[in-house]
Amino acid sequence: MHELAITQGVVEAISHRIGEGRVVAVRLQIGKSSGVVADSVRFCFGPVTEGTILEGARLDIDEPVGQCCCRTCGEVFEPDPRFALCACGSADVEVRSGQELRILSVEVV
């Protein structure tokens, strides 16, 4: 369950950058093809933020599906989260987006 480590990393990064103050809301972007399960991050967020400046903060997660481009036929399509395969049968696809994992915004009071 690497979502725990990822959530800890996010919380540490925010705590480090904010320093003083109290975080009331965090918005993350976790692409469907990033390999990170947003629900697991939601689950970890409460326990991980306990005792930090993020305790009690609201967590919003954007989950963009992303886009693939087939190098064989040129088709642009939404990738399956587990494997990218074009309708033409080619696996030679370029994943253009959907692998994002970033902190979009942090609300501080």
CA trace torsion 84, 89, 94, 98 (10° rounding): -30
**Residue 88 annotated as binding?**
yes
Note the helical H segments in 1-58: 3-18, 38-49
Q: Does 91 bind Zn ion (CB under 5 A)?
A: no
Options 3-11, 19-27, 35-43, 81-89: segment touching Zn ion (CB under 5 A)? 81-89
Of residues 15, 75, 81, 95, which one binds Zn ion by CB under 5 A?
A: 75
Q: Does 84 bind Zn ion (CB under 5 A)?
A: no
Options 5-13, 23-31, 44-52, 88-96: segment touching Zn ion (CB under 5 A)? 88-96
Crossing angle of helices 38-49 and 3-18, in 10° steps, is: 50
Closest distance to Zn ion from the beta carbon of 65 (Å): 18
Cβ closest to Zn ion, residue 28 vs residue 70: 70
Q: How far is CA 15 from CA 38, 56, 76, 98, in A?
A: 20, 14, 39, 26
CA trace torsion 64, 65, 69, 70 (10° rounding): 160
Q: Does 78 bind Zn ion (CB under 5 A)?
A: no
**Applying CB under 5 A, which residues contact Zn ion?**
70, 72-73, 75, 86, 88, 90
